[in-house]
C-alpha cells in the first residue's frame, strides 16, 4: 500500500556539509498493517515520517500510496501535504483550547472545500468520537480532558478525514507510564477495528514490540533491519539491534565451522565451544559476537537432561536481585559475567554453583559489519 524507495533527505547547514538525515531508506507497508520506525534520537525516523507526510521535501527517492506517486525525484513529482489525504498525529497534540471536543474533531471537515451538510459532519464526527471512546464527552471543553483523552482527541481529528494513511509521531511520549501502557491497547484496538494503514514513529522498544506488525529499526539515517517484532527480538542481525531492543549478553567468539544438517555454527568463546545460529553466511575463523537474551539463559542446580542438544556450562553466582516475579542473576563463568532471569523458586545464594543451559536457537552469532539489508522472516 505504502512504498518508500531509496529515500534521501538532507538538511542544509550554514557551515559544513549538509546533514544526511535519511539515507537510502526503503520499505513497504501492506494495506491495513501497523508499521513502526524505531530507533534512538537523531536516527532519521521522524524525518522519514515527515517526508512521507510531505512536510519535508526529500532530495531523492520515491514515495507512493496504492500506486499513486506523491513524491518522485526522477519524475519531478511533489504532491503538497494537504492533497495527500494522510492523517497525522504529532508528539504535541495541538488541541484547540477554546473549542469543545466536538468542535476540535469537526475542525478539519469545517475548513475543507467539500465539507458536506451540518448533519453529515455531525454524523461523521460522532462516529469517530465513538471509535475513540469520546462520544460521551463531545460537549466538554478540550482543556478539561486528561492526557489520554487529549491523545485520543488528536487521533479522532486525524481519523475524521478518513485518511488513506495514518502517520503517528511519538503520540504517547507525553503520557505517564501507566497511561502509556493503557493507550497502547487503545491504539491497537482502533487501528485493528478501522483497518487503518499506520506508520508509527517511536524510540520506545516496548511500544514498537507491542503495537507493530512489522518494525524497521533505524540508526544514523539508515534502516538496519526490518522484520516482525518476534524476528527483530529473537534474530537481530547486528549488535546494535540486539543491544537497542531489550537486554542481551554479548560474548566474543571465533567460528570453528558450520554443520549443514543442524544449521548450527560451532563457535569458541569464554563459555567453551557452543552452537549458534545466524541469518548471515559466516566464514570459518571469522570473529563474531554471540547474543543471548537473559531470559534464554536457563539456570539450574541440577545437571542438564541427557540427549537434548543444549549449550552447557557452569558458573558461580556473583550477584542476584529479587524483582518480585523474577530474580536477576549474574553468574560468573571463567571470569565472564552472564546475566540470567529465573523464577524466584531458584534460591541459590551468592557464591553458589549453577548449571547454565542455552538453546542453540537462542544463541545468535552476529558477524562484524553485519549486512544492513538482511530481512528477518
149 and 223 both lie in a single domain: yes
The grid cell for 272 is 567453551
d(CA 321, CA 11): 47
Has residue 377 been placed in a domain? no
Which tens digit of pLDDT belongs to each residue from 17-32? 888 999 999 999 999 9
d(CA 241, CA 218): 9
Contact 285, 265 (CB under 8 A): no
pLDDT grade, residue 355 (50/70/90)? Answer: very high
245 and 323 both lie in a single domain: yes
- Average pLDDT of the segment spanning 143-165: 88
d(CA 112, CA 200): 26
d(CA 145, CA 137): 9
Provide the CATH number for the domain around residue 228: 3.40.50.300
- Average pLDDT of the segment spanning 233-254: 94
In this predicted structure, what is the pLDDT of residue 178? 82
- Average pLDDT of the segment spanning 187-192: 88
Position 357 pLDDT exceeds 60:
yes
- Average pLDDT of the segment spanning 4-27: 90
Residue 294 phi, psi (nearest 5)? -55, -35
96 and 166 both lie in a single domain: yes
Query: Residue 45: which residues within 8 A CB-CB, separation 6 or more?
Result: 37, 38, 39, 201, 202, 203, 218
Higher-scoring residue by pLDDT: 161, 297:
297
Which tens digit of pLDDT belongs to each residue from 32-71? 999 999 999 999 999 999 999 999 999 999 999 999 999 9
198 and 294 both lie in a single domain: no
19 and 38 both lie in a single domain: yes
- Average pLDDT of the segment spanning 116-125: 89
Strands of the 77-78 sheet, one edge to the other: 19-29, 2-11, 60-65, 68-72, 77-78
From residue 346, give the alpha-carbon distance in Å to each of 70, 165, 300, 326, 336.
58, 49, 8, 10, 21
In this predicted structure, what is the pLDDT of residue 374? 40
pLDDT grade, residue 307 (50/70/90)? Answer: low
Has residue 46 been placed in a domain? yes
d(CA 313, CA 93): 53
In the DSSP assignment, the letter for residue 303 is P
How much is the mean pLDDT over the chain? 91
In this predicted structure, what is the pLDDT of residue 335? 95
244 and 172 both lie in a single domain: no
253 and 227 both lie in a single domain: no
348 and 228 both lie in a single domain: no
Enter the pTM of the model: 0.87
d(CA 321, CA 36): 33
pLDDT grade, residue 3 (50/70/90)? Answer: very high
How many domains would you assign to the chain? 2
Strands of the 222-227 sheet, one edge to the other: 86-89, 165-169, 198-202, 34-38, 214-219, 222-227
218 and 283 both lie in a single domain: no
Torsion of CA 361, 367, 371, 373, to 10 degrees: 10
Domain limits at 173? 2-234
221 and 346 both lie in a single domain: no
d(CA 200, CA 37): 6
Position 185 pLDDT exceeds 90:
no
In this predicted structure, what is the pLDDT of residue 22? 95
Which sign does the torsion angle of CA 241, 244, 246, 250 carry? positive
In this predicted structure, what is the pLDDT of residue 375? 36
d(CA 73, CA 82): 19
In this predicted structure, what is the pLDDT of residue 253? 97
- Count of CB atoms within 10 A of residue 193's CB? 9
Has residue 374 been placed in a domain? no
| Closest of 232, 220, 167 to residue 41, by C-alpha | 220
- Average pLDDT of the segment spanning 308-323: 93
Position 288 pLDDT exceeds 90:
yes
Which one of 171, 199, 234 terminates a domain? 234
Higher-scoring residue by pLDDT: 55, 305:
55
Amino acid at each position: 500500500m505504502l512504498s518508500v524507495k531509496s529515500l534521501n533527505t538532507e538538511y542544509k547547514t550554514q557551515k559544513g556539509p549538509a546533514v544526511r538525515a535519511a539515507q537510502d531508506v526503503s520499505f513497504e507497508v501492506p494495506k491495513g498493517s501497523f508499521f513502526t520506525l524505531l530507533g534512538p534520537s537523531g536516527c532519521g525516523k521522524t524525518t522519514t515520517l515527515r517526508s512521507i507526510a510531505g512536510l519535508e521535501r526529500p532530495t531523492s527517492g520515491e514515495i507512493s500510496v496504492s500506486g499513486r506517486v506523491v513524491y518522485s525525484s526522477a519524475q519531478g513529482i511533489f504532491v503538497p501535504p494537504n492533497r495527500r489525504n494522510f492523517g497525522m498525529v504529532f508528539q504535541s497534540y495541538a488541541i484547540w483550547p477554546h473549542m469543545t471536543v466536538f468542535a476540535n474533531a469537526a475542525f478539519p471537515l469545517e475548513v475543507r472545500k467539500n465539507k458536506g451538510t451540518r448533519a453529515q459532519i455531525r454524523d461523521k464526527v460522532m462516529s469517530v468520537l465513538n471509535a475513540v471512546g469520546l462520544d460521551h464527552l463531545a460537549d466538554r471543553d478540550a482543556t478539561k480532558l486528561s492526557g489520554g483523552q487529549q491523545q485520543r482527541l488528536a487521533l479522532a481529528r486525524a481519523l475524521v478525514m478518513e485518511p488513506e494513511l495514518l502517520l503517528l509521531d511519538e503520540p504517547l511520549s507525553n503520557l505517564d507510564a501507566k497511561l502509556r501502557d493503557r493507550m497502547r491497547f487503545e491504539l491497537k484496538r482502533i487501528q485493528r477495528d478501522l483497518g487503518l494503514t499506520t506508520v508509527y514513529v517511536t524510540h520506545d522498544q516496548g511500544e514498537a514490540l507491542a503495537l507493530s506488525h512489522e518494525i524497521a529499526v533505524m540508526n544514523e539515517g539508515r534502516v538496519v533491519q526490518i522484520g516482525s517484532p518476534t524476528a527483530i527480538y529473537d534474530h537481530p542481525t547486528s549488535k546494535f539491534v540486539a543491544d537497542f531492543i531489550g537486554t542481551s549478553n554479548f560474548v566474543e567468539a571465533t567460528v570453528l565451522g558450520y554443520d549443514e544438517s543442524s544449521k548450527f555454527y560451532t563457535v569458541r568463546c569464554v563459555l567453551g565451544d557452543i552452537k549458534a545460529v545466524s541469518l548471515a553466511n559466516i566464514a570459518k575463523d571469522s570473529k563474531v559476537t554471540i547474543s543471548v537474551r537473559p531470559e534464554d539463559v536457563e539456570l539450574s542446580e541440577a545437571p542438564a537432561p541427557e540427549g537434548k542438544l543444549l549449550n552447557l556450562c557452569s558458573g558461580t553466582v556473583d550477584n542476584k536481585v529479587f524483582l518480585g516475579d523474577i530474580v536477576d542473576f549474574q553468574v560468573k563463568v571463567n571470569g565472564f559475567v552472564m546475566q540470567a532471569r529465573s523464577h524466584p523458586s531458584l534460591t541459590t545464594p551468592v557464591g553458589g554453583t549453577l548449571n547454565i543451559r542455552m538453546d542453540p536457537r537462542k544463541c545468535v552469532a552476529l558477524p562484524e559489519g553485519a549486512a544492513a539489508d538482511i530481512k528477518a522472516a
